[in-house]
Amino acid sequence: MKHEVQDFLHYLTIERGLSNNTILSYKRDLKQYVSFLEETCKIKQADQIQRVHIMQFLHHLNDSGRSVSTSARMLSTIRAFHQFLVREYNVKQDASLHIETPKKERKLPKVLSGDEVEALLDLKGNDPLTVRNRAMLEVLYATGLRVTELLSLTMNDLHLTMGFVRCMGKGSKERIIPLGSHAQDAVEMYLNKARPALMKKRQEDAVFLNHHGRPMTRQGFWKILKAIARDKGIKKEITPHTLRHSFATHLLENGADLRAVQEMLGHADISTTQIYTHVSKSRLKDIYKNFHPRA
């Protein structure tokens, strides 16, 4: 079924416009799925796949110690693949129909307190790397961008005089996000003083560059963030997504409209955004317990 898988991945890339990271995730999932079908179920052709084979694969994932979240993601991939087979390969029946998605616990995202955010963003120094790091963190917290979206920003995406950035999110959906004054000042300082020094006479369209003058990578940003959090004495486990979670939670805590937050985050479904309302309620309970004399 290699040919069908390749066609499906091509469809996701060209027609759906999904990111490289998403395509790689689909590819990894389908490699495991197809290998199981061929080796365990002795399936050679797509039209031989039945519901029982998919159930066997899901049981295999469970027996292998895979998390419920992983199984749910795998099933989502399988469904999309089988829908493609029915549509493009004239496979008569979608074998993935009516298979219930494994129930997964919805964990509340970890967020930083206001003081922790202030500490993280309070970077001293005017050398090019510090100025760049301050600008990246300010933009990430000010906009709630995903780290991939942040590092994909080009010079044409910045509209500093108007106070916003343009972002191409998942599925190539464009959104416009306001840029706060602190982030705007940090970016202007970076563009005027740090970026020219980092470019080293190279020509790069990406906004944020590494010390070689090339576009910053996710791995590079991750190392920078961990080092800054460690230096600032932040004990919480922190990832690039932590600032996105903090952005949304702090907006809602201060009275922002849920639909507006959904728009800025680029969530297709508002139910995804609603998780942050639960975070806000959880934090309120903690405040009550800590400070009410009769809690």
| Domains of the chain in sequence order | 2-88 (1.10.150), 114-291 (1.10.443.10)
Active site annotation includes 267: yes
Residues 193 and 156: their CA atoms lie apart, in Å, by 19
Is pTM beyond 0.85 here?
no
> Could you tell me the maximum CA-CA distance found in the chain, to the nearest angstrom?
68
Residue 270, pLDDT score: 77
CA separation for the pair 128, 251 (Å, rounded): 31
Q: Tell me, yes or no, if 202 is annotated catalytic.
A: no
Is 106 part of the annotated catalytic residue set? no
Mean pLDDT by 10 residues, the chain (295 residues): 93 91 95 96 93 95 89 94 92 91 72 92 95 96 92 95 88 85 96 93 91 94 95 89 89 85 82 72 63 57
| 147/221 Cα distance (integer angstroms) | 8
What sign results for the dihedral spanned by CA atoms 118, 214, 164, 22?
negative
**244 is an active site residue:** yes
Catalytic residue among 73, 134, 244, 250: 244
Catalytic residue among 73, 82, 146, 250: 146
pLDDT value, residue 279: 62
Q: What is the pLDDT of residue 209?
A: 96
Point out the catalytic residue in the list 51, 110, 170, 214: 170
**SS3 call for 41:** coil
pLDDT at site 284: 58
pLDDT at 291: 61
The answer to whether 276 is a known catalytic residue is: yes
